Amino acid sequence: MDLLYLRNVPVFKELPPEDLAIISQVTVEGRYKKNGVIFRDGEIGEGFHYVKTGKVKIIKLSTDGREHIINILGPSDVFAEVLLFNKGYYPATAVALEDSCVGIIRNSEIERIIISHPHVAINIIQAMSKKLLFAQNKINSFAFSDSYAKIAQTLDLLARQHGQKNLRGMEITLDITRQDIANLAGTTRETVSRVFSRMKKDKVVAEEERRIVILDINRLRQYYE
């Protein structure tokens, strides 16, 4: 395991080399093909996960089988960290959005490390707090937003997390469908199509081979600010 890579993971970025070496020794890697399930909602929690390469989506399924995407994660993002201090079951399903490599640190190992290296626990708590704040902000902003605002916020978030500048604007580097956008925004595919039609007319976004390009980020934000 590359210690320099571990330093890119927010939970571990402040740790000295000797602590990173300890983390490296207890980390195992799992490789998943596109659409491969990393773990399922309700399965017994194995431990703390982070994305090394690729992208992972965290989803919940409704009783009628509809998928709601909670988040889309890229390299260095952590997930399932809630189980570190609350042994139990995975609260959602994790699926590889593309071929991905995931680092896994089992609960028993991380607990042993935390006992002997308390500052690791502090970093983990800080990372969990940021994830909680993200969830609260998403809930609060979506609760009082119309469809245009929800979709614009979703695109803005994806651009921040997975955006790459090109000659036309900011390309969201995900192979993502309109249904995926709808799942993230908590709306329907038909609504996304209607909103995208308006945004294209306004020259705010464009679609190129299943990639979304934000042409004018400031005008995009006007939909919800």
> CA-to-CA distance for 200 and 5, rounded, in angstroms?
39
Work out the average pLDDT over 122-130. 69
pLDDT of residue 83: 72
106 CA to centre of own chain: 20
**Among 39-53, 96-110, 123-137, 209-223, whose mean pLDDT is lowest?**
123-137
pLDDT at 141 over 60: no
Residue 180's nearest CA partner among 30, 67, 39 is 67
pLDDT at 136 over 70: no
Share of the chain above pLDDT 90, in %: 29
Q: Are 217 and 169 in contact (CB under 8 A)?
A: yes
Q: What is the DSSP string of the chain?
A: --HHHHTTSGGGTT--HHHHHHHHHTEEEEEE-TT-EEE-TTSBP-EEEEEEES-EEEEEE-TTS-EEEEEEE-TT-EESGGGGSS-SB-SSEEEESSSEEEEEEEHHHHHHHHHH-HHHHHHHHHHHHHHHHHHHHHHHHHHT--HHHHHHHHHHHHHHHHEEE-SSSEEE-S---HHHHHHHHTS-HHHHHHHHHHHHHTTSEEEETTEEEES-HHHHHHTT-
> CA-to-CA distance for 161 and 74, rounded, in angstroms?
8
- CB neighbour list of residue 44: distance below 8 Å, 6 or more residues apart: 88, 89, 90
Q: What are the φ and ψ backbone dihedral angles of 156, each rounded to 5 degrees?
A: -65, -45
pLDDT of residue 86: 66
pLDDT tens digits, 80-109: 877 766 678 888 999 999 999 999 888 778
Work out the average pLDDT over 192-213. 90
Pairwise pLDDT comparison (165 vs 19), residue with the higher score: 165
Work out the average pLDDT over 157-180. 87
Global pTM reads: 0.71
Tokens of 202: 């306004």
Look up the CATH number of domain 145-222: 1.10.10.10
At the topology level, CATH places domain 3-137 in: Jelly Rolls (2.60.120)
The Cα-based distances of 107 to 28, 85, 100, 104 in angstroms read 12, 9, 22, 9
pLDDT of residue 109: 81
Segments making up each domain of the chain, as ranges: 3-137, 145-222
pLDDT tens digits, 1-32: 567 778 888 777 777 787 788 888 888 899 99
Q: Do domains 3-137 and 145-222 have the same CATH topology?
A: no
pLDDT of residue 36: 96
pLDDT at 144 over 50: no
The Cα-based distances of 94 to 56, 85, 160 in angstroms read 7, 19, 21
pLDDT at 187 over 90: no
Share the mean pLDDT of the chain.
83
